[in-house]
Structure 1
Amino acid sequence: MTGRIALLALTVFLLAFLISPQTFAPLFQPFTKNDAPAIYVQSSLLSLTLSHLTLVALAVAASTLVAVTLAILVTRQSGREFLPLARTITSVGQTFPPVAVLALAVPVLGFGAGPTLIALFLYGLLPVFENALAGLTRQSPQVTEAALGSGMTASQRLWQVELPLALPILLAGMRLTAVISLGTATIGSTVAANTLGEVIIAGLISSNTAYVLQGGMIVGIIAVLIHYGFQHLEQIVARRRGQG
């Protein structure tokens, strides 16, 4: 109960701050120097937050689609030999730092959201792939035998048995990817993407700690909300599947 109250309080505080940031100016004023503005006003904090979340949501959706597809393919009889290749592909994003991906993508895609999406997409593949793989391969043999005995086709077993049972573990991978992507997306502002990194970078350039705190605070609160939101969803799904 205490945890839910704390999450509700964080949500209310975040919404109030994004809707009316100037109301909280006295809170950040002690962190400014030489009468610098306490609240970032070059862009709307609300619009930057929505743009940031949109980039993360698109990247997580794309990573999940590709990673789950690969996990399904390599857990079928005909695709098991491609498991090492699939692991290599999904590990690319973890091998190259997001900054390096941005540097390589900008000459091809130009400045803006494109390079950031590519970096987040690649960075998010591995957690979803490994969790989807674990969920699909660690199921009880009795469940598979029961599905075979009931006359289900391979497609029916996948969609009606295997994927539903793997869903809690898959959601855990998506949670990890979403939280990582949320923090990583801040670097997108270095290539002109509209993210909360703009606020942090502006604070670093102008030595205005208030700006840095605002950008970091918004990202941090949203990360906590996403983490516990996914975790709660995982528990609900697990209980419904009899895995709780």
Structure 2
Amino acid sequence: MKGSALIRLLLLVLLVAFLLTPQSFRPVFQPFAANGAPAIYTQSSLLALTLSHLAMVGVATLAAAIVSIGLAVLVTRPAGREFLPLSRSIANIGQTFPPVAVLALAVPVFGFGPIPTLIALFLYGLLPIFENTLTGLTTVPHSVQEAARGVGMTDTQRLISVELPLALPIILAGIRLTAVISLGTATIGSTVAAKTLGEVIIAGLISNNTAFVLQGGLVVALLALFIHQGFTSLEARIGRQAGAMQPAQ
């Protein structure tokens, strides 16, 4: 455990160092830059592209979480159960239309830039969060809900104080999945002039410069690793707290 934590810390230090001083890593990437091509991408700041990439993923994931959790809460209440098929269809839209198709449809309406990418990431991120929230809310032990009713909690109080806290680890797992998938998917946003790390990868593919492709790909991969690990640790911590909330059998 300590060894893996040390490796992650080392990778984080290397990532930060690369983003802050990419030129110092020139000897590492030079062998992959054929025919005298530059070894480090300099058309845009790698740090700025990374921050823009993360911001886009964060905004889209947050929006998807708000909508998906709201829909899941609605369809698990007695008054909203009949809307489950409709809500599931809405959540499935992003899986029905791949992100590239969403970009193709959104660009004529919204123009080039970040908005088409945000729309694609938002739609693609709905389903994992919706399904996980639905699972979390519908698997809260009946005994726990009865205990909450027994102490006089209203439906809203049970939702906020009991159901959502117990379902939170499963909800976070859905948000983690959405964030990690969006992190990789966001690279295609550079095809419609969004500022993402896909710009580095595309530049490398166009110029046949493997060094650029490696730089963009490695940064995205490391970011995905850290986000995945961060959410996993948070899920475990909250899962222990949720377990402590449940009465002993």
Secondary structure at the counterpart of residue 59 of structure 2: helix
Once residues 152 and 116 of structure 1 are traced to their aligned partners in structure 2, the CA distance between those partners, rounded to angstroms, is 43
What's the CA shift for 1:181?
A: 0.2
* Runs of 4+ residues deviating >4 angstroms: none
Q: Which residue of 1 aligns with 2:111?
A: 110
What's the CA shift for 1:146?
A: 0.4
Identity %: 66
**Greater shift in the superposed pair: 5-14 or 122-131:** 5-14
Q: Quick one: structure 1 residues 172 and 243, their matched pair in 2 at CA, closer, same or farther if it must change by over 3 Å?
A: farther
Q: Which residue of 1 aligns with 2:137?
A: 136
Q: Which residue of 2 aligns with 1:179?
A: 180
Once residues 7 and 85 of structure 1 are traced to their aligned partners in structure 2, the CA distance between those partners, rounded to angstroms, is 42
| Letter of the structure 1 residue corresponding to residue 213 of structure 2 | V
Once residues 16 and 165 of structure 2 are traced to their aligned partners in structure 1, the CA distance between those partners, rounded to angstroms, is 34
What's the CA shift for 1:243?
A: 6.5
Secondary structure at the counterpart of residue 226 of structure 1: helix
User: After superposition, what is the alpha-carbon deviation per residue over 1:26-64, rounded to whole angstroms, capped at 9, x for unaligned?
Assistant: 000000111100000000000000000000000000000
Q: Which residue of 2 aligns with 1:6?
A: 7
Once residues 2 and 176 of structure 1 are traced to their aligned partners in structure 2, the CA distance between those partners, rounded to angstroms, is 25
Once residues 151 and 54 of structure 1 are traced to their aligned partners in structure 2, the CA distance between those partners, rounded to angstroms, is 42
Q: Which residue of 2 aligns with 1:26?
A: 27
Equivalences for residues 1-244 of structure 1 within 5 A: 1-242=2-243
What's the CA shift for 1:3?
A: 1.5
Once residues 109 and 194 of structure 1 are traced to their aligned partners in structure 2, the CA distance between those partners, rounded to angstroms, is 16
Q: Quick one: structure 1 residues 6 and 152, their matched pair in 2 at CA, closer, same or farther if it must change by over 3 Å?
A: same
Q: Quick one: structure 1 residues 243 and 133, their matched pair in 2 at CA, closer, same or farther if it must change by over 3 Å?
A: farther
Q: Note the residue ranges of structure 1 that are not aligned, 5 or more in a row.
A: none
Once residues 90 and 3 of structure 1 are traced to their aligned partners in structure 2, the CA distance between those partners, rounded to angstroms, is 36
Q: Quick one: structure 1 residues 52 and 89, their matched pair in 2 at CA, closer, same or farther if it must change by over 3 Å?
A: same
What's the CA shift for 1:240?
A: 1.3
TM-score (norm 1): 0.99
| Letter of the structure 1 residue corresponding to residue 56 of structure 2 | L
| Letter of the structure 1 residue corresponding to residue 16 of structure 2 | L
